[in-house]
Amino acid sequence: MAYAVTHVIVAIVVLDLFRHYVFGKKKFPRFLLVIGGIAGLLPDIDVPLSWTYNFLTRNQSNFHGQFTHSIIFPLIFLTVGIIYYYHSNNLRKNKKWAQIFFVISAGWALHLPLDCLFGGYETFLWPLGIKTAFCPQWNLRDYAPGLDALILIAWLVHEEIHNRIKDYI
């Protein structure tokens, strides 16, 4: 499993690249980067849920990777975003909500391959009950402490080279 900071930074960097090169700043406001960064960490909500369950029941259960690391959740958020985007009476308000759901879907979806690279899970197709073993076993755990720093530095250098660092100061 990648570190929490890595999940947030990867989501923010990838979404920011789409913001700059695909959509533009006016169509993709900065607050969506924050939402996307948080969404990049959402699949790990099962960790504090395990702690709470263990505290309340005096058991030792670990829910991590059992159901929140499924592709079903990004697909649900994507579907809700599409519904908001195409079915609306107040177009402007619903397009904003569509953007939010699209960004949550993207952040959540980015979490899955990142965890896959760090060891993988077999529950990507939950609740179908189909076990998958398509994750490469690259054993990147030894590099986890420095990975988020390298990603952050590369992104900052990119922003400075393209004279965009001022967007965040």
Average pLDDT, the chain: 83
**CB-neighbour burial class of residue 48 (10 A; exposed 0-12, middle 13-18, buried 19+):** exposed
Model pLDDT, residue 108: 95
Three-class secondary structure of residue 27 per DSSP: coil
| Full domain range(s) for residue 43 | 4-168
> Along the 169 residues of the chain, how does pLDDT read in single tens digits?
678 888 999 999 999 999 989 998 889 998 999 999 999 999 988 888 888 888 888 888 776 677 788 889 999 999 999 998 887 666 667 789 999 999 999 999 999 888 877 766 666 656 566 666 666 666 777 777 788 888 888 888 888 887 776 666 5
The 10s digit of each residue's pLDDT in 53-98 is 888 888 887 766 777 888 899 999 999 999 988 876 666 677 899 9
Give the C-alpha separation, 42 to 100, whole Å.
Answer: 14
**CB-neighbour burial class of residue 47 (10 A; exposed 0-12, middle 13-18, buried 19+):** middle
**CB-neighbour burial class of residue 105 (10 A; exposed 0-12, middle 13-18, buried 19+):** buried
Model pLDDT, residue 159: 82
Model pLDDT, residue 131: 64
What end-to-end distance do the CA atoms of the chain give, in Å?
A: 32
State how many domains the chain has: 1
